[in-house]
Amino acid sequence: MYLKRVSLQKEKLPNHDSYPFSIPVIKTMDQLDVTSNVTFFVGENGSGKSTLLEAIADKCGFNTAGGGRNNYFDVNEAQSVLGDYITLSWMPKVTNGFFLRAETFHHFATHIDSIDGASQAYGGKSLHHQSHGESFLSLFRYRFHQRAIYLLDEPEAALSPQRQLAFLRILYDLSAYGNSQFIIATHSPILLGYPEAIIFSFDDDSIREVAYEDTDHYQITRHFLDNRKRFLHEIFKEE
């Protein structure tokens, strides 16, 4: 493990009225201790997961539009304001890694195509000439290595359930044997089931550790699958 703690420099925050300082979990955050090679950020849409992950990516020196340290391409609104107000504590420090933003991956693929020979590092085939899910898996399989930190924002976005299981295997190989560290924002109850992971919930206006079975993602999915007809009846009934 490399990144041990993320601290918010509260005394430096300019205000609490505007984004990103107005997000409830940022208002209440002091520090986050990272105690596992695999950490998940989970929570309702808009709870602040991407904002914090992007700030961490910024402090790691990764392109906040997505990519590693040497990937420069621009995407509107990819700057991290919060990055200026957090401190990362490392032991030891790593500089290798990658920030995956599902929504800018198309731009990233174009950027890789524009560099002569760069697609070799991604399995030898243009990421644009693969399906969305295939290109994600090529990134994970060919570009991800040992001794690095990977920050992934909703990697499940393009992956079928079967491919999410394949991703779990890659995660296992890299984190358990390859000594790589992952911080992953996700809504996937499959990914969240990774053993020994630490899950931080961003719900209820603060960041706190939760057990897998206590996440909404696990509970709602499980109840839906167990009681699909009753669930649908409730959702569709006339008010």
Ligand X SMILES: Nc1ncnc2c1ncn2[C@@H]1O[C@H](COP(=O)(O)OP(=O)(O)OP(=O)(O)O)[C@@H](O)[C@H]1O
CB of 21 to ligand X, least distance (A): 10
The candidate with the shortest Cα–Cα distance to 199, out of 24, 8, 38, is: 38
Q: Which of residues 118-177 bind ligand X (CB under 6 A)?
A: none
**Cis preceding linkage at 92, omega within 30:** yes
The binder of ligand X chosen from 38, 43, 88, 152 (CB under 6 A):
43
Residue 190, number of CB atoms within 10 A of its CB = 18
Burial of 136 (C-beta count, 10 Å sphere; 0-12/13-18/19+): buried
DSSP letter, residue 86: E
CB of 54 to ligand X, least distance (A): 8
Judge contact between 105 and 115, C-beta under 8 A: no
The binder of ligand X chosen from 6, 8, 23, 184 (CB under 6 A):
23
Q: Which of residues 168-227 bind ligand X (CB under 6 A)?
A: 185
CB of 56 to ligand X, least distance (A): 12
Site string for ligand X, 50-69 (x = CB under 6 A): xx------------------
The binder of ligand X chosen from 9, 14, 16, 19 (CB under 6 A):
19
Proportion of the chain in helix, strand, coil states, percent, rounded to 5? 45, 20, 40
Contact positions vs ligand X (CB under 6 A): 19, 23, 43, 45-51, 77, 185
